[in-house]
Structure 1
């Protein structure tokens, strides 16, 4: 009989600087067409976001190691990809260590960690964050390491899926999962309102999680991927000469809503799901999910709170939502987590709160 697998606990971290309001002013100034400027401000007010965090100090007090985004993102000379990756290499380990400190692994837990899985789609270097985590925690240098890159916002679901496979085959081992994104490194200089609006929602964050066979936290019951036909162009993510180039179509909420409505019976057929951890890709995405699944008022409050407090942090975001839900979930409550990304694909996970949590 296969072992049951549990998401024991989650720790989350962001940078110190809230840059949301500063970015709104910056982006408003970057747009030259008056109608676009007015529409941008209207959409910013309706975004459902009040804070996003970044190591790029667009505003505020600067120290000797800080980066002034007004200098980093200068009109007519936005930085090349190599410059952005240099900052990723500088700041990503700092953010990861903050999350790992909050995860507070005991010495015994560190000895049981035999696998490290890292997800990130906003930066790469080698040896990378997997080695940094092993060294920082003093893990056995022979631990197995897996990097899941460029999968976008649903990468955390795939990381948990892989962690479940590992623990089911090796029940005595634990898996450390790290989801880290620095989305604000990839702002593009553009007069296209849609492109500028896509960066209105993104922030930076990291989640660190422990997955094992010990019955605490959330039991990871099952996973399912739902790929939407004829939608592969709605979310794309390519490496360009000046950072990573994103396409985030305004048709995404409608496509997600239609897909979930078609599969509604798979999620709510018996009404047993009490906990909903939905990736907050944006306010309109959450509205579409809520409508498609006919969820009760407040069902997505944790997702809306994370969106408001942090924005969309790509792969780390759904883990922030799960961490929030874990704090108040009652034993035996069933839940469904889902995140959306390139493909267009919805990655879903069924879970239940363990009796001991």
Structure 2
């Protein structure tokens, strides 16, 4: 997939979940890479939007491996993809509370909007923060969670996540 923007990681997670669940033992590598510098233009007095875009978007890359039925003797799952589709999950209004947005806000503050890799940076931030704070799960002790990816037009990828216990 390419040229899909911010929601690509969520879309790739949904498709990889389906591939892994339908192919026993399969592991799917997702690599997201965004290169904002190819779009960079020098700021001008007549086009301040260029400066804003350059300030809030950044280059980035991230990768994850998706599988089903993990072998816990050799694998250490971090999150379970409970459901994934392009819609809004009913009764999920509590999935984007202020506590659940801490990692997202931190990543956006530190790196800007990195488009598709942002999702993986947020999940990693949650995992690291959970370990540092001694939380019971990889998702900062909060369960379940909802991942949203927004794309061209009004495309919304929605994934319900559950955290795994930390070691």
- Residue 314 of structure 1 corresponds to 115
Q: Does 1:149 align with 2:149?
A: no
Distance 1:338 1:169 in 2: 23
Alignment partner of 1:325 out of 108, 126, 132:
126
Question: Deviations for 1:240-270, whole angstroms, at most 9, x for unmatched residues?
Answer: xxxxxxxxxxxxxxxxxxxxxxx696422xx
Work out which of the two has the higher radius of gyration on C-alpha atoms and give 1 or 2: 1
Q: CA RMSD in A?
A: 2.3
Unaligned stretches of 5+ residues in structure 1? 1-147, 227-262, 277-294
- Residue 222 of structure 1 corresponds to 83
What does 1:118-197 correspond to in 2, within 5 Å?
148-189=1-42, 190=44, 191-197=46-52
Contact 2:136 2:166 in 1 (8 A): no
- Residue 349 of structure 1 corresponds to 159
Distance 1:330 1:186 in 2: 42
Distance 1:267 1:184 in 2: 36
Relative contact order higher in (CA < 8 Å, ≥ 6 apart): 2
Distance 2:90 2:163 in 1: 22
Moved over 4 A (4+): none
Distance 1:352 1:299 in 2: 13
SS at match of 1:220: strand
Distance 1:330 1:162 in 2: 29
Contact 2:20 2:26 in 1 (8 A): yes
Unaligned stretches of 5+ residues in structure 2? none
Relative to the length of structure 2, the TM-score reads 0.78
Distance 2:26 2:100 in 1: 34
Relative to the length of structure 1, the TM-score reads 0.39
Distance 1:164 1:203 in 2: 27
Check 1:151–1:167 CA distance in 2 against 1; reply closer, same or farther (3 A cut).
same
Distance 1:353 1:264 in 2: 18
Question: Deviations for 1:68-105, whole angstroms, at most 9, x for unmatched residues?
Answer: xxxxxxxxxxxxxxxxxxxxxxxxxxxxxxxxxxxxxx
Q: Does 1:205 align with 2:60?
A: yes
SS at match of 2:20: helix
- Residue 303 of structure 1 corresponds to 104
- Residue 267 of structure 1 corresponds to 92
